Amino acid sequence: MGWFGKSKVGKALAGAAGAVQKDLTGNKDFLEAACAFAALMAGAEGGVSPAEKQMAIQAVSQSPKLGELFDRAEVEACMNKMISRVESATGRYALEGEMRDILKQPDGTEMAKYVAFIGYDVMMADGAAGEKEKARFAKGCALLNLDPTEFYES
């Protein structure tokens, strides 16, 4: 017998708790994907400087959707985890996996676009994108089944 019991009310509460857990898991995947792409973009030209790290944290924490779901401390913790992976090939592959995970969510396509906009904001934070940044952005968009040219301002 589960925590909620076998009654109709217990089963309904168990179902509601499961739905909440599923929603929180989806949101966590959303945060992890956004931090992963932001970390990849911050490290696209080599290591991640403290300024680039803060820029990536800001891009995620000030985004309208993620900023409502997660406080800055949660974003910083997730970003620190993702940035720690940028330096190695296996770490970058794991970051790409975090990005791909959101495509499994019910709103995955919309989440993917949002994540790509965050990556774009990090890429353009200093006013211009270098060739390595553009290549990393294009690869990230491809992982999310998106066309990178959709994001460039005219």
Q: Which amino acid is at 113?
A: K
Residue 3 in any domain: the answer is no
pLDDT of the residue at 65: 86
Token digits of residue 109: 């396509």
Residue 2 in any domain: the answer is no
The mean pLDDT of 49-77, rounded to a whole number, is 89
pLDDT of the residue at 153: 66
Of 30, 44, 28, nearest to 139 by C-alpha is 44
Three-state DSSP class for residue 3: coil
Residue 88 in any domain: the answer is yes
Residue 81 in any domain: the answer is yes
Domain count, the chain: 1
CATH number at residue 16: 1.10.3680
pTM exceeding 0.75? yes
Range of the domain at 14: 8-146
Whether the per-residue pLDDT at 80 is higher than 50: the answer is yes
pLDDT of the residue at 6: 52
Whether the per-residue pLDDT at 8 is higher than 60: the answer is no
CB 113 within 8 Å of CB 141: no
Residue 31 in any domain: the answer is yes
